[in-house]
Amino acid sequence: MVYNDRMTFIQNVAEYYDELYPVTEEQKKFYSRIQKSYPAPARFLQIGCGTGALEHALAKSGADVTGIEVSKELIEIAALRRRTQLMPIRFFQLSTLDMTRFLGKNFYNVISCLNSRIVFVRDKTLVRKFFFDCKALLTEDGTLVLHLYNFSRALQNGRTELRMRSSIRVKLFSTLTTGKDSAFFMNQRIETGTGKVLTVMENEALYPLTKDEIASFAKEAGFTDFLFYGSYAMEAFTDRSEDIVCTIR
């Protein structure tokens, strides 16, 4: 994803990333179902891979995994974890804007972009390009997986507090605000167990991608099959769902 270095302080959350974004059993089961749809080893591309925790879980299950991440702080943690284990997994510091230049076309069985990272592409035209680029990188029967906040819940409000993420050591607070011309911004801060408060994002611009737009942009890029869920447990998505988890083929 594309971040504004002046407004984002990823180094403040890097130490706690795995605690705040843990790999859940539901998530493992969700990916296990998808992985079984392809011959082993299934080839995964994880966009915005963070510290690589999910990528290592996939590799341990027999997948061949590539992770890309724009944050130097996060990709260094992922690479360090990679050096301690011999698995078919690799990490690159790379933006979505450049991924089709450096990654193999028609190569990946599954491409994922999770934890609302897609919305930080920011620009509607570039978001549409994202779907075309994923289509180019996927095999003919490949699957695109997206996980993001259900922004339709926030579009009618000037300020929306998102679900707090927390661990024993830290809490992550996220707030969506609206500006002029329907602009949206994310503010995030962490609070440590000692009471220290650190900024993670300050008025970080985003594009509030909705369910209907996902289907529209994906169809435009050549995808034909869309399944939307409310979580990795794969319950039916409704307008009241807090999250969107979708598989696109």
Amino acid at 229: Y
Asked if pLDDT for residue 116 goes beyond 50, the answer is yes
Strand pairing category for 64-69 and 43-47: parallel
pLDDT band at residue 5 using 50, 70 and 90 as cut-offs? very low
Instruction: Please state, in angstroms and rounded to a whole number, the distance separating the CA atoms of residues 215 and 109.
Output: 20
CB-based burial label for 239 (10 Å; 0-12, 13-18, 19+): exposed
What average pLDDT does this structure show over 156-179? 89
pTM: 0.93
pLDDT band at residue 74 using 50, 70 and 90 as cut-offs? very high
Q: Which helix (H) or strand (E) holds 247?
A: strand 243-248
Average confidence score pLDDT of the chain: 92
The per-residue pLDDT for 8 is 65
Contacts 24+ apart (CB under 8 A), 216-222: 217/127, 217/128, 217/130, 217/131, 218/131, 218/144, 218/248, 220/128, 220/131, 220/132, 221/128, 221/131, 221/132, 221/134, 221/135, 222/132, 222/135
Asked if pLDDT for residue 63 goes beyond 80, the answer is yes
Asked if pLDDT for residue 216 goes beyond 90, the answer is yes
Instruction: Please state, in angstroms and rounded to a whole number, the distance separating the CA atoms of residues 40 and 245.
Output: 24
pLDDT band at residue 70 using 50, 70 and 90 as cut-offs? very high
232, 219 in Cβ contact below 8 A? Answer: no
Asked if pLDDT for residue 7 goes beyond 60, the answer is no
Residue 182 or 178, more confident? 178
What average pLDDT does this structure show over 35-54? 96
Over the stretch 75-113, which tens digit does the pLDDT of each residue have? 999 988 776 566 789 999 999 999 999 999 999 999 999
Q: How many CB atoms lie within 10 A of CB 49?
A: 27
The per-residue pLDDT for 84 is 58
Asked if pLDDT for residue 3 goes beyond 70, the answer is no
53, 115 in Cβ contact below 8 A? Answer: no
73, 5 in Cβ contact below 8 A? Answer: no
Longest dimension (CA), the chain: 51
Angle at 77 between CA 76 and CA 79, to 5 degrees: 65
163, 241 in Cβ contact below 8 A? Answer: no
Q: Which helix (H) or strand (E) holds 89?
A: strand 89-93
